[in-house]
Amino acid sequence: MPRRVVVTGVGLLCPVGVGTEECWSAIRAGANGISRITAFDASQFACRIAGEITGFRPEDFVERKEIKKMGRFIQFAIAATDFAMSMARLRLTPEDAEQAGVYIGSGIGGFEVIEREHRNLLERGPGRISPFFIPAAIVNLASGYVSIRTGAKGPNSATATACTTSAHAVGDSFKIIQRGDADVMICGGSEAPVCPMGIGGFAAMRALSTRNDEPEKASRPWDKQRDGFVVGEGAGILILEELERARRRGAPVIAEIVGYGMSGDAYHITAPNEDGDGAYRVMRNALRDAGIRPEQVDYINAHGTSTELNDKIETLAVKRAFGEHAYKLAISSTKSMVGHLLGGAGGLETGVTALAIRDQIAPPTINYEFPDPDCDLDYVPNQARPVKIEYALSNSFGFGGTNGCLVLSRYREDQGAR
């Protein structure tokens, strides 16, 4: 029988808070984290809004001399790891270091570092490119730094699968522990895309909301007046442990991961298939892996981006995967509050799903004002709701047609109850 894998720590930082419980409290309250961009002058951009993190001080987590050596996404990953390790009450020792791994992804990596060093090249010449440029920017250095800081000597990897990045990182880590290649995995994702090229690139695709005069209402999944997603920044890191190890050390068990699915659309580089086939199949695959029936699921933390196509097609896929039970599900989108963290989204949202199970509460989808007849499920509009959650899904879909779905459950001693 595969080994059981539990979540013992969650580390979050995002536009509504720095720290797990601060973020979770704000998300439960339906707080808004979207505002006008302050990181750079966005006055000439079609989209001038984003989910920025305020109050983050990298020096609280990294020595000042080290800050310049790492992109902002790495700083976020380190901070979120600290929060997750603290919640899990986890400290690795030399004796267990080889059984602990790190798997942290990013869709883009050090985008602002690339911008800065390219500017140095053009304005000051190649001799002024920082020697820290490459390690500060490349995607796997979040995992690298976290491994060095924690002493984890087990599997060390990174995903870069667009907006499914950290869902894949968590799912792959679940499988690594399940098959016995590690006992502990520090996993998730981080992203810092609020920079001129990040905002400008997505705006050029006409993917972003241009509700610049009402940023707090711009991210509105499933609402009839949605006009695009809002870029956010932040990180979500989980500590996954083999159950018996977690029991032996008296670790808190927040939730259990019981299933993981992947699929590919094989359709279009940025648009989902109109029949929702890829999204349907990834949920089907995850449920099959978990060994549960669709009607056993109580809550879905949806991809829910606030774009015309995604919200309509994800709704269609949920109906196909769950049949009539789709109308009994509580479904919400964290992105309504914090924006789309791109490669960091799945880590944050899986962490939120674990906390929702812990506290038996479904977080809200804010800004839901005008129902769309194509989106007619229960999206937990505007206010959190107490919900009995035995099983929950976290969905992530990315450019290139890459999809990931995780199934989490309330922890029960008797695995046979599943």
Q: Is 340 a catalytic residue?
A: yes
CA-CA-CA-CA torsion sign (10, 16, 18, 24) = negative
Catalytic pick among 14, 47, 163, 187? 163
Is residue 61 classed exposed, middle or buried when 0-12, 13-18 and 19+ CB atoms within 10 A define those classes? buried
Catalytic pick among 47, 303, 375, 405? 303
| Contact criterion met (CB below 8 Å) for 222 and 379 | yes
297: left (phi over 0), alpha (psi -120 to 50) or beta: beta
Q: Is 14 a catalytic residue?
A: no
Residue 95 DSSP one-character state: T
| Contact criterion met (CB below 8 Å) for 325 and 296 | no
β-partners of residue 257 are 5, 408
CA proximity to 206, closest of 229, 183, 189: 229
Alpha-helix residue ranges (DSSP H) falling in 192-261 = 196-204, 243-248
| Contact criterion met (CB below 8 Å) for 354 and 255 | yes
For residue 415, CA distances in Å to 1, 3, 240, 243, 411 come to 11, 11, 17, 11, 9
- Kindly write down the DSSP assignment for every residue of 251-288, as one continuous string: ----EEEEEEEEEE--S-SSS--TT-HHHHHHHHHHHH
Amino acid at 345: A
> Can you read off the two tokens belonging to residue 82?
């600290």
Catalytic pick among 23, 47, 195, 340? 340
Q: Is 163 a catalytic residue?
A: yes
User: Which sequence positions are flagged as catalytic?
Assistant: 163, 303, 340
